[in-house]
Amino acid sequence: MFLELDAEIEVVGEARNGEEAMQLVEQLRPDVVLMDVLMPKVDGLAATQKIRQKFPDTEVLVLTSVLDEVTIASAVRNGAIGYLLKDTQAEDLCKSIHLAAEGKVQMSPEVAVRLASELCEEHPRVEELTAREREVLKLIASGSSNKDIAQLLFIAEKTVKAHVSNLLAKMGVQSRTQAALYAVQKGWV
């Protein structure tokens, strides 16, 4: 597999279905999981949700051929940090894996276009965000990790995590990806 050509990426396991993927995550605790949505036994969407609930430090990056709004929205709602299509170039995939490991959102351009409108219509509570939470949201949307945000705003990373948690709750979203898409749709970045 071409991922092994990147010296910084270590492939620690490979699953044949969603159930096996969840078991391997529990055993191996990887930083990033590449997940197809079309998986036998337990589909990739359900597996993503269960992995993110049980192992919040493991990021799930969807890599699939499915490009429909319902599936994309479900993946993001279930906690996927990114959604890429299988025609993604090897170099771009490796870059996306590294960025996902840093907590940075990754979307194929086609995916972002299909998803932004649908998700953005669902978040009427954004007005409740404080000025600092809006600032953090803008930085998330521009691809900054919690560590990056802490350095840019001269605050502790723990404080950034609290702001992220608060803004997700106020916006009624479950992931940084959903929040970032909203900020992009509103033209904040």
Residue 66: what residue type? V
pLDDT at 148 over 90: yes
For the chain, percent of residues with pLDDT exceeding 90: 49
The whole-number pLDDT of residue 189 equals: 62
The whole-number pLDDT of residue 124 equals: 47
pLDDT at 168 over 90: no
Question: Is 122-185 CATH 1.10.10.10?
Answer: yes
Q: What does the pLDDT look like over 45-86, one tens digit per residue?
A: 999 999 999 998 899 999 999 988 888 888 988 999 999 999
Given this structure, which CATH class describes domain 2-108?
Answer: alpha beta
Q: What does the pLDDT look like over 109-141, one tens digit per residue?
A: 788 777 765 655 555 456 788 989 989 998 998
The whole-number pLDDT of residue 128 equals: 80
The contacts of residue 95 (CB under 8 Å, 6+ apart) are: none
Q: Where is mean pLDDT largest: 42-46, 168-172, 176-180? A: 42-46
- How far is C-alpha 145 from the geometric centre of its chain's CA atoms? 12
Domain residue spans in the chain?
Answer: 2-108, 122-185
pLDDT at 87 over 70: yes
Q: Where is mean pLDDT largest: 18-27, 101-110, 142-151? A: 18-27
User: How far is the CA of 70 from the CAs of 57, 80, 84, 142, 162, in angstroms?
Assistant: 25, 14, 15, 24, 30
DSSP letter for each residue of 44-84: HHHHHHHHHHH-TTSEEEEEES---HHHHHHHHHTT-SEEE
Domains 2-108 and 122-185 share a fold: no
